[in-house]
Structure 1
Amino acid sequence: MIVVSHVPVVQVNDVSKRFVIRKEKSLKERLLNWGRSQKFKEDFWALRNVSLEIDSGSTIGLIGSNGSGKSTLLKTIGGIIQPTSGTVRRRGRLAALLELGAGFHQDLTGRENVYLNASILGLTKKQTDLYFDDIVDFSGIRDFIDTQVKFYSSGMYVRLAFAVAVHVDPDLLLVDEVLAVGDEAFQRKCLDKIRSFQAEGRTIVLVTHALGQVTDLCDRAVLLSKGGVVYDGAPYVAVRDFRELLEERRQSEEAAHGGTPVPGESARVAEVSVRAEGRDPGEAVQPGDDLIVSVTLENEGEELRGWAVELQIDNVMGQVAYGTGSARLDAQLSPLGRRRTVEFTLTDVNFGSGKYFVNATLVDLDRRHLHELPQAASFEVPHDELSVGAVHSIPRFADLG
């Protein structure tokens, strides 16, 4: 059971953070332009008037695109950087995993760095002695604990750093994307440890691009864009809004570039649309619907003989959720003239909650790509309180004891 109190552990009040970007390319240029320095620098506001409170026992996900201010906010909460304006108040013991190898001294061994990190986080040598074996066992790198960390792989760095952070009895744990490093077994171990922290009523602030972790682990999510808070509330709503921001950006980029042609080919995928049968375009796709995907092709050259259309539906992580094609369905297609629209009907679809993207590709009969339109259309499947994952099912439960 996760215990959340209404006592704030962190209070961020109207925080802004400015960085100065210098345009000189060298020290020589900086010295020569000393008197005209204002012309050769500009202000970048990583955070703009951010305010939020984090209650004891809660798990908060900070999400947003690169450059949105997530890591800057996390470092401000952790006291690593000071805000340009505004205040941050924090109570309790803090442990932070903000970047790979932070706090490690390259010329010290893993054992020496455990004691160094633990002392930075507030433990005495006697306390670290008590935790040491547990730290090493959790990290799984006992064979290398007396090796200088400059010889460690990135995975070994994270294993040791995470092991120290979770064994110093923190009230507040800050984690910045480091769970993306390491093998699957260690990632599962880290997630299990985070869940045990939640059950103990500890407070966790997590920065990640793994949106599934946000909806699975967090009871609240904050969406940042251009240094400001866009949404603060239910994780699935924050993830949905973030996906919409990404989709808007993708559409503008796609409009500027328009597909990926193969040199010398005149036929192309011109347009793709997707809808659920019996529903309006853009309306959410419900489990059990028939999904209709229309692909319009154009050809400015001679008639194209021996062609096919392939579909692929990806989730937001880029993983393939479904794929098919006209050749797989033994469709006999006449030569492609100027313009043609083909339609796929996927019956009784049962995609899990989230956003999905439709990719369409024109190929020849040897499956060589003639033209592709990635993420040409998208559809949304509503949030399901009963389950998570890529497949929708109605669960039943029975206690057979």
Structure 2
Amino acid sequence: MMIIFENVSKHFTIKRDRRNSIQERIAGLFKPQAVPDEDFWALRDVSFTINRGETVGLIGHNGSGKSTTLKLITRILQPNSGKVVVDGRVSALLELGSGFHPDLTGRENIFLNGSLLGFSRAEMAEKVPAIIRFSELEEFIDMPVKHYSSGMYMRLGFAVAINVDPDILITDEVLAVGDELFQRKCLDRIYQLKRRGKTILFVSHAMGQVRDLCDRALWFHHGNLMTDSTPTETIDDYLAETNQRDAERIEAEKAAEAPEPEVGSSETESEAVAPEPAVEFDPRRWGSHEAEIYKVELLNAAGEEIQTATTGQALTIRMHYQAHEPIEKPVFGVAIHHRTGFHINGPNSRFAGLEIPEIAEQGYVDYHIENLPLLEGNYELSVALYDHTLTHPYDHHDRKHDLRVYAASIGEQFGAIYIPSQWHWHK
């Protein structure tokens, strides 16, 4: 075992009655506090075990307890109750600039971080060239880090964290700061550490990265550990709760925007329009529903509806929509997941260059695959209808549709993707 949490709780005291000046503090000695302090429970009775060599994702909304958990593991904080056991050298990148002194240069901060991790100056001197090379900060390494940008902070911190050969690597949403190329470089190095059997704790709001990288995932919610399972199951639970809260938010906004009934209206109770029945909450479907995808069909090359698809043959995914009001520049999307949770692809009409000026009433959109590259297996299909910015969902079906694929005589059985290729033997 590398990390053990046994019934761990941690709380902080929130000062509700702030008395900043000397006069206010003196006066406060003679009168009761107007607003009592409040205990904020960052973690409540949390228990889990992380084994050597596991890569574990921590997910949850901001303030759910993820960062507190990492700070307990790194001994930055101590629990109010329970026990935390950590076996091995921990290298952590918790937040930008953590462990850096702003007046020291990048090079000096490398040695400072090394000393905090228990390395001698001679040991760190051997590691410095690799750290500087990975950070790509050669031109700025002898500049005080107070002049660094947030991206430069992240580069240097990550370079130190992964080049000190830790037993346990902890990253807390730091990759979101770096540019695309450096993020890829960091993820490549994380995968290398994973292959070497290092234990990794990975905090991210990028669910795709958690699915791809992690062996397990923990979902924290208001200080409680809600789910400890496979990444797919944990993320599904988290998204179901998130989608329900988002649906409640949309309904509240609609109710707030609804016009008040006119005073003295002559409309009788019998003439009043009956409200629409409430739609039962579906954790795998969300959106504001000004437009909806009400039917999804799978079609073969002849345009006939099929129940199963075949490797190497044509497949069309037809999305029938109903627009309850005109929608300008909508975007239709598709995603295919293997039944194990692996995300295979996620195209959309906007990225493909298809601009739909407006939809109104009914119609359909086709996503056509000329030669289906999926090998035999069970897959899950998502369809979605978004606004042009891809930030507002009108209707999103998350893996609600089954896609069964049978293999033709292609001579391949293993994996998920068929790649046309040839073998040659030379003597």
The TM-score normalised by the length of structure 2 is 0.71
- The answer as to 2:386 corresponding to 1:359 is yes
Task: Please say if residues 292 and 344 of structure 1, whose CA atoms lie closer than 8 Å, have aligned partners that are also in contact.
Answer: yes
Task: Decide whether aligned partners of structure 1 residues 243 and 395 sit closer, same or farther in structure 2, where only a CA change above 3 A counts.
Answer: farther
2:20 corresponds in structure 1 to 27
1:18 corresponds in structure 2 to 11
Task: Please say if residues 291 and 349 of structure 1, whose CA atoms lie closer than 8 Å, have aligned partners that are also in contact.
Answer: no
Aligned 1:68-217 pairs, distance under 5 A: 68-217=64-213
The aligned length equals 342
C-alpha separation in 2, matches of 1:23 and 1:327: 52
Structure 1 residue 25: Cα displacement: 3.6
Q: Tell me, what secondary structure is at the counterpart of 1:144?
A: coil
Q: Tell me, what secondary structure is at the counterpart of 2:209?
A: helix
Structure 1 residue 176: Cα displacement: 0.4
Q: Which amino acid aligns with 1:144?
A: F
2:348 corresponds in structure 1 to 321
Q: 2:246 aligns with which of 226, 246, 250?
A: 250
Post-superposition Cα deviations, 1:111-132, rounded to whole Å, max 9, x if no partner, equal: 1111000110111111111111
Q: Which amino acid aligns with 1:162?
A: F
Task: Decide whether aligned partners of structure 1 residues 93 and 379 sit closer, same or farther in structure 2, where only a CA change above 3 A counts.
Answer: same
Task: Decide whether aligned partners of structure 1 residues 226 and 198 sit closer, same or farther in structure 2, where only a CA change above 3 A counts.
Answer: same
C-alpha separation in 1, matches of 2:366 and 2:176: 36
Structure 1 residue 230: Cα displacement: 1.4
Task: Please say if residues 276 and 289 of structure 1, whose CA atoms lie closer than 8 Å, have aligned partners that are also in contact.
Answer: no
Task: Decide whether aligned partners of structure 1 residues 353 and 194 sit closer, same or farther in structure 2, where only a CA change above 3 A counts.
Answer: farther
Task: Decide whether aligned partners of structure 1 residues 260 and 189 sit closer, same or farther in structure 2, where only a CA change above 3 A counts.
Answer: farther
Which structure 2 residue ranges, 5 or more long, are not aligned?
258-287, 299-308, 310-314, 336-345, 370-378, 406-415
Q: Tell me, what secondary structure is at the counterpart of 1:321?
A: coil
C-alpha separation in 2, matches of 1:260 and 1:376: 19
C-alpha separation in 1, matches of 2:254 and 2:330: 18
C-alpha separation in 2, matches of 1:354 and 1:43: 45
Structure 1 residue 213: Cα displacement: 0.8
C-alpha separation in 2, matches of 1:140 and 1:276: 51
Task: Please say if residues 221 and 233 of structure 1, whose CA atoms lie closer than 8 Å, have aligned partners that are also in contact.
Answer: yes
More displaced, 269-278 or 122-131?
Answer: 269-278
2:423 corresponds in structure 1 to 400
Structure (1 or 2) with the larger CA radius of gyration: 2
Which structure exhibits the higher relative contact order, with contacts defined as CA atoms closer than 8 Å and separated by 6 or more residues?
A: 1
- The answer as to 2:362 corresponding to 1:343 is yes
Q: Tell me, what secondary structure is at the counterpart of 1:71?
A: helix
C-alpha separation in 1, matches of 2:77 and 2:387: 46
Q: Which amino acid aligns with 1:292?
A: H
Which structure 1 residue ranges, 5 or more long, are not aligned?
1-7, 262-268, 280-285, 298-306, 332-340, 362-372, 387-392
Percentage identity across aligned positions? 37
Structure 1 residue 229: Cα displacement: 1.3
Structure 1 residue 236: Cα displacement: 1.6
Post-superposition Cα deviations, 1:251-288, rounded to whole Å, max 9, x if no partner, equal: 11111112999xxxxxxx97433233479xxxxxx985
Structure 1 residue 85: Cα displacement: 1.0
Structure 1 residue 59: Cα displacement: 0.3
- The answer as to 2:318 corresponding to 1:290 is yes
Q: Tell me, what secondary structure is at the counterpart of 1:117?
A: helix
C-alpha separation in 1, matches of 2:26 and 2:394: 50
C-alpha separation in 2, matches of 1:97 and 1:295: 47
Q: Which amino acid aligns with 2:349?
A: Y
Q: Which amino acid aligns with 1:395?
A: Y
Q: CA RMSD in A?
A: 3.4
Q: Tell me, what secondary structure is at the counterpart of 2:171?
A: strand
C-alpha separation in 2, matches of 1:135 and 1:357: 43
C-alpha separation in 2, matches of 1:243 and 1:314: 18
Post-superposition Cα deviations, 1:173-225, rounded to whole Å, max 9, x if no partner, equal: 11101111111121111111101101110000011111111011111111111
Task: Decide whether aligned partners of structure 1 residues 33 and 289 sit closer, same or farther in structure 2, where only a CA change above 3 A counts.
Answer: farther
Q: 1:377 aligns with which of 374, 395, 409?
A: 395
Structure 1 residue 354: Cα displacement: 7.9
